Structure 1
Amino acid sequence: MPPMPAARVSGLRAETPRATASARSQMLETRIVVRRAAGLLRAARVMAPIAMSLPPPSFAIASPWASVLPKRSARSAGWVAKKMPRPIASRLAPIPRATCRAVESIGTSLPTSPVRDHGGVAEGDTILRLARRFESTLLGETVAASAPNPRGKAARIERLDGQTLEAVESHGKHLLLGFGELSLHCHLGMSGGWHFYRPRSRWRRPRSSAWAVLSNEEWEAVQFGGPTLQVGPTARVRRNPQWTRLGPDILAADFDPEAVIPALRADPTRGLGDALLDQHLVAGIGNIFKSEACFAARVDPWRAVGDVSDEELGKVLIAAREQMLSAVELGTRHNFQIYKRRQSVCPSCRGPVSSRGQGDANRTTYWCPRCQG
């Protein structure tokens, strides 16, 4: 029989020595404690947004995981999680266009909406609507001209000061304002736009960024940005290759689709979508109506022009013209059916919408492979 372990007597109670935990057990216990601490740390980060700042002296006590982590001094406690105050919205909601138009009619000084539809290149419908806006506000008026921004001074906008606006002409994506012997030619590109304001009203953009300001007693027409802005003798401006090399204006009253088809077929291997963007062939169609018109006509924009029939080309051109004229008459941008519907579904067949860059400029084309296949 093995000997009994020795017992130590304390008063009337005898105690037997307890077995000491092995090194493996101690290591396992340490890992559990560390994992619990890490879990509490993650939970605290998920419960509320945190901001990093120096800890208060009571961090080791106030922290929810202080009981499982070794205590640290205030200087070495590291970063601390604090609840951030919830931000308060201070930006006012934009004024609806309908409200602006209604208030305009009674002569208020609230700013009007800029003549600009979207973040892409201004297409023919935008320029035609802009021309009509000039006709209703400044045509036949003697204007005061100024250029707050150095870019406008370089374009010699101030030469128009005291001149009378005699003619307004739009051709594709280009606008021409005639002041007798002088003319202003502009192309808005992707960043430009004209804003119309009542005098002494607040502008939507800083005054110092305005390239051109044309005003009378009732209106201020303000131009911001754009790749082309120049003032010069009318004859020289009209000889500018940017103007003379433009194809037929798709929104012109005498536009004939059959006259444009031979020009589109000049390069039979060229994709239809890419050919429609060539302003030397037909002026005014941009990336929006390229995709929208091809979808309305159910023609694949990736087909080579030589493989597209005259009837299909005519349908595409007529669809683009009707959509753009509708946007002009309504005074709003076109209701997109396929454009910018990436990762969305076709409104007709509910199939996936595809998009990919096309042509040398790599402009994104949108199409439905099912409806336009």
Structure 2
Amino acid sequence: MPEGPTIVILREEAVGFEGRLVEEVSGNSRLDLQRMRGERITALCSWGKHFLIRFPTFAMRVHFMLFGSYRINERREAAPRMSLRFDDGQELNFYACSLRYIEGDLDVVYDWSGDVMADAWDPKKARRKLKARPMLLAADALLDQTIFAGVGNIIKNEVLHRIRVHPESQVGALSARKLGELITQAREYSFDFLHWKKQFVLRKHYQVHTKQICPRDGTRLSYRAKLGHFQRRAFFCETCQVFYGERLPPPEPITRGRKTISKKATKAPAKAVKKAAKKVTKKVSKKTVTKAVKPAAKRSSARRV
């Protein structure tokens, strides 16, 4: 999924389309794309992972989801979700993305102070939001777009490693200094990301994301395919990334018959219970058949002798 810095790059690359009149519109979106035909682009801007095309009375929001992409003055083989063409033959194409019209003033719809890459970014407001949700996991906090608009999974993993915080730490357990580091680095790493991506060296600077060994202490990194509320991949070091807070206790065990099982296990679907019952029935049936057949087998062999 393209993160905030990638959207900033798009905004910078497409700035030449500001003030231009849209002559042709096409695409496989279900929206009425022809609404933009004949309209003049007043501004191109970004908020977090949203690319915003402003027109006089409305705006088009582009969200690239997991696999979205764009092309300026060139095309992919796949059909575009939206294609804007201008009078001199130039075009702006978007693929595999989510589109939505936004009515009215964007300044009313968006809180620009929540965008980690915006000039209006307000770290004090971010701190207040985090203080109001003390049980929030550090990993979830960074991915929450209402707090850190533009931060994605790569930035999350790298920031937590940079400030030595375990992704499952609770933000309410972080010291004031450590919480400040999280807020500061969410922005600073985003600009590092932007610089490295422009130089085509972003992956060379990954410390933990998609890596196996921690460059700080040489130990093997931990990996979770799905972690936290957002269920995103996590790469982290159990040695140098400190856990803050209280770990959730395991499910309380309960006793049923001679076996002790957890409460979680008792919530098995009805189909699973029926399937297990059938297996038990089959085992019992096999034992019964075996006992009945064995004597008969002996009598049969006696007759042969």
Q: 2:171 aligns with which of 302, 305, 313?
A: 305
The match for 1:131 is 11
Distance 2:233 2:103 in 1: 38
The match for 2:96 is 225
* CA distance 1:158–1:274, shift in 2 (3 Å): same
Distance 1:372 1:345 in 2: 13
Larger Rg: 1
Counterpart contact for 1:294–1:300, Cα < 8 Å? yes
Q: 1:365 aligns with which of 234, 250, 253?
A: 234
Can you give the 5+ residue segments of structure 1 that lack an aligned partner in the other structure? 1-120
Question: Is 1:205–2:77 an aligned residue pair?
Answer: yes
The match for 2:250 is none
Can you give the 5+ residue segments of structure 2 that lack an aligned partner in the other structure? 243-305
Question: Is 1:294–2:160 an aligned residue pair?
Answer: yes
Letter in 1 for 2:24: A
* CA distance 1:265–1:192, shift in 2 (3 Å): same
Provide Cα deviations, 1:124-183, integer angstroms capped at 9, x if missing partner.
Answer: 111111111221x3112222332232x2xx222222122221111211111211111231
Distance 1:231 1:251 in 2: 23
Q: How many residues align?
A: 236
Provide Cα deviations, 1:63-107, integer angstroms capped at 9, x if missing partner.
Answer: xxxxxxxxxxxxxxxxxxxxxxxxxxxxxxxxxxxxxxxxxxxxx
Counterpart contact for 1:157–1:231, Cα < 8 Å? no
Q: Which structure features the higher share of helix residues? A: 2
Provide Cα deviations, 1:315-338, integer angstroms capped at 9, x if missing partner.
Answer: 122223222223324414633111
Structure number with the bigger relative contact order (C-alpha 8 A, sep ≥ 6) is 2
The match for 1:165 is 41
Letter in 1 for 2:3: E
Distance 1:147 1:238 in 2: 28
Q: 1:148 aligns with which of 27, 35, 57?
A: 27
CA RMSD of aligned residues (A): 2.2
Distance 1:247 1:141 in 2: 28
Q: Pairwise mapping of residues 1-373 of structure 1 onto structure 2 (< 5 A)? A: 121-135=1-15, 137-149=16-28, 151=29, 154-198=30-74, 203-206=75-78, 209-216=79-86, 217=88, 219-226=90-97, 228-231=98-101, 233-235=103-105, 243-244=109-110, 248-330=114-196, 331=198, 332=200, 334=202, 335-341=205-211, 344-356=212-224, 357-373=226-242
The percent identity for this pair of structures is 27
Counterpart contact for 2:112–2:121, Cα < 8 Å? no
Letter in 2 for 1:131: R
* CA distance 1:316–1:233, shift in 2 (3 Å): closer
